[in-house]
Amino acid sequence: MTKQQANWSPYDNNGGSCVAIAGADYCVIAADTRMSTGYNILTRDYSKITKLADKCVMASSGFQADVKALQKLLAARHLIYQHQHNKQMGCPAMAQLLSNTLYYKRFFPYYSFNVLGGLDNEGKGCVYTYDAVGSYERVGYSSQGSGSTLIMPFLDNQLKSPSPLLLPVQDAITPLSESEAVDLVKTVFASATERDIYTGDKLEIVVLNAEGIQREFMDLRKD
Amino acid sequence: MFRNQYDTDVTTWSPAGRLFQVEYAMEAVKQGSAAIGLRSKTHVILACVNKASSELSSHQKKIFKVDDHIGVAIAGLTADGRVLSRYMRNECINYNFTYESPLPVGRLVVQLADKAQVCTQRSWKRPYGVGLLVAGLDESGAHLYYNCPSGNYFEYQAFAIGSRSQAAKTYLERRFENFMGSSREDLIKDALISVRETLQGEKLKSSICTVAVVGVGEAFHILDQETVQQLIDSFELVREDEPPAPEAGDAVADQSEASAPVAEEGAAPMDI
């Protein structure tokens, strides 16, 4: 008697890659806009990036239905927070909330690979990276999604973030300027697009700094 | 109101067909400090008097933002009001989550009224001791509702609740026919005058009143104290029953126009 196998899966992977880089007083969050299923493209123009709070932006790849549900939940929780505290949630607070929300569904997870970017309470850039069930860490830069295996080693090479195992503890912050960080992101996605079939079409870049939020787009290879 | 033998339980009718506990709950609303609401086609203004229990303490919060398009002012047991505001906020958030659109204020007040009614028909509960003036926007424009502890609700052009609200209501009754076409600024001025009527002689200043606005294209927000004081200053000099309706936002003209602070019909001419 062989074990019963499921004849369908509640999950699907819509592909795509996300990246975030923290600077001294800015944060860059980027993701491609291709949404796929299997070997097909569903749309070339789908945003994986959402603003959760004034100083907090999230990019998520994976199963976009779960991503959408997660975004809606966090937005509702943020509203409640604002009613109770009369102010917006800061990035570290949102980071913890996201972790708790993901772990809440530990036994039927959100198939969502998230990267949270924003400004911390001192105005410095911060990036938090997650797995599907809420394990998270503050880092200087991170990538998630189908292209992350191609992107991450390159970011490691360029950004030389000190190991958290080393003592004395060093800041997880990138000494790049904002425009250098944006250029790096563009380069990294252009490279990932070459070899990852699920990454391409268009790149959406969001920059968070003291002036607010700016958004820009860049074309990527469509094949 | 005298003691009755049928007023112990909310679930006991009197021989005359009244529920005394519910009526007593409405009395609690009259004991609270005044709250006033008025609306035009496009805007709703809520104003309330801030009564602090002592000089040392801060005043209680009586106006709550429920959603971008809905706000509420309360009078009576403010603790009950706080709890109901939290309920309203939750309802708006849940509706928005499910339908990705704002909860129509008409639906919200019905839900509130049904919630209040439950407390009039359970022996282990008591009615909410708070009256709510709900200001909100929906597709058909601006609306003002009053929800009372009995579970009834009504839509109003303008209304006042709480202590000494009759003075405000008298003023509003005289002026309400013009409100539908009023500008935002005129509405706020009328609201402040209504608040002044309830103060019965006490000087109107921004520290004792709170004003909130919601309108088409304008999310619900409470005006800050400086703005309120400026608005008070721009009309306070005209100390008569029927201040001349000024041009919208023409604060400078008001101040120079009303140079003689005497209760007379028609302000002193602008003579420089």
ipTM of this complex prediction, to 2 decimal places: 0.86
Residue whose entry in the numeric block shows the structure tokens 């790149």 = A203
- Given a cut of 60, whether residue B256 has pLDDT beyond it is no
Q: Give me the pLDDT at residue B179, please.
A: 92
Summary mean pLDDT of chain A? 94
Residues of chain B found within 8 Å of residue A80, distances taken between Cβ atoms: 89-90, 93
Please determine, for residue B57, whether its predicted confidence score (pLDDT) is greater than 90: no
| Coil, strand or helix at B47 | strand
* pLDDT-wise least confident of A165-169, B157-161, B201-205: A165-169
Which residue in chain B is spatially nearest to A84 when comparing CA positions? B86
What is the spatial distance between Cα A65 and Cα B19, in angstroms, rounded to a whole number?
Answer: 52
In the predicted model, what is the mean pLDDT of residues B16-39? 94
Chain A residues with CB-CB distance to B212 below 8 A: none
* Cβ contact B45:B176 at 8 Å: no
Would you state the pLDDT for residue B266?
44
Asked whether residue B242 carries a pLDDT value surpassing 50, the answer given is no
Average pLDDT of span B226-251: 63
Task: For residues A61-75, give the mean pLDDT.
Answer: 97
- Residues A106-157 pLDDT 10s: 999 999 999 999 999 999 999 999 999 999 999 999 999 999 999 999 999 8
Q: Which amino acid is at B4?
A: N
Q: Rg of chain B over CA atoms, in angstroms?
A: 20
Tokens of A39: 């070997």
**Residue B110: predicted pLDDT:** 97
In chain B, pLDDT over 70 holds for what percent of residues?
A: 85
- What pLDDT is recorded for position B248? 40
- The CA-based angle B104-B109-B114, given to 5 degrees, is 130
Q: Predicted confidence band at B100 (pLDDT cuts at 50, 70, 90)? A: very high
Buried b (16+ CB within 10 A) or exposed e, B61-73: ebbbbbbbbbbbb
- Contact at CB, A80 and B96, closer than 8 angstroms: no
Which residues in chain A are contacts of B94 at CB distance < 8 A? Answer: 76
Q: Is the pLDDT of residue B89 over 60?
A: yes
Average pLDDT, chain B: 86
| Distance (Å) from the alpha carbon of A109 to chain B's nearest alpha carbon | 20
What is the model's pLDDT at position B262? 41
Residue B255 is predicted with a pLDDT of: 42
Give me the pLDDT at residue B239, please: 54
Residue A201: pLDDT band by 50, 70, 90 thresholds?
A: very high
Whole-number pLDDT of residue B250: 43
pLDDT above 70 (res A184) = yes
DSSP state of B46: E
Chain B residue with the nearest C-alpha to that of A72: B97
Q: Could you say which DSSP state residue B232 is in?
A: H
pLDDT value at B139 more than 60: yes
| A82 neighbors A53 (Cβ within 8 angstroms) | no
pLDDT for the residue A161: 57
Is the pLDDT reported for residue A164 higher than 50? yes
Tokens of A79: 């509203």
Amino acid at B136: G
Q: Quick one: pLDDT at residue B244?
A: 47
Report the alpha-carbon distance of residue B20 to residue B8 in Å, rounded: 8
Residue B89 forms contact with A (CB below 8 Å)? yes
pLDDT reported for residue A173 = 54
Q: Are A203 and A189 in contact (CB under 8 A)?
A: yes
Q: Do A79 and B93 touch (CB under 8 A)?
A: yes
A106 touches chain B (CB under 8 A): no
Residue of A nearest to B93 (CA): A76
Tell whether B59 is within 8 A of chain A (Cβ).
no
| Whether pLDDT at B117 is above 90 | yes
What's the pLDDT band for B261 if we cut at 50, 70, 90?
very low
Average pLDDT, stretch B189-194? 93
B93 contacts on A by Cβ (under 8 Å): 76, 79-80
Single-letter amino acid code for the residue at B225: Q
Q: Which of A184-198, B3-17, B161-175, B239-253 has the lowest mean pLDDT?
A: B239-253
Tokens of A102: 């993901």
**Are the beta carbons of B89 and A80 separated by less than 8 Å?**
yes
